Amino acid sequence: MDTPDGAVRLTLALQEANLRKDAGDKTAGKPSSAYEIELEAWRTALRVVDELKDKSGKALTDPALLRMQAMARDGHLEPAILILLFRQAYRPALDAWTAAHPGGVQAFIDRYAIRP
């Protein structure tokens, strides 16, 4: 494997599967909603890619992963998931986020030049 792209995608899938398996456990700190699970899976996968880059010096090459990594570094991982990876199960989280960040959707779209 020349790049950590595959490792990130595998980590993302495994982390999401593990979190979904544990979603019934309402212990404090454990993600339980679909959005929280997705967010935590992405945080873990992006942390892994940073660790891999530190160890091997190899960086991501997949444009989609690079974009998510850049958005996470900018502190915009939450709106990236809510807007770019939207699922109807994320609706309550999106509504809460838009209430807390009026104009946030438009600002996100403008910042990253997102077009249909």
Give the pLDDT mean for 50-77. 92
- Listed range (13-17, 26-30, 49-53) with the worst mean pLDDT: 26-30
Phi, psi torsion values for 24, nearest 5 degrees = -70, -20
**Cα–Cα dist 18/94, whole Å:** 23
Interatomic CA distance for residues 88 and 19, integer angstroms: 19
Across 26-30, 44-48, 92-96, least confident range = 26-30
pLDDT tens digit sequence for 86-113? 999 999 999 999 999 999 999 999 999 9
pLDDT mean across residues, the chain: 90
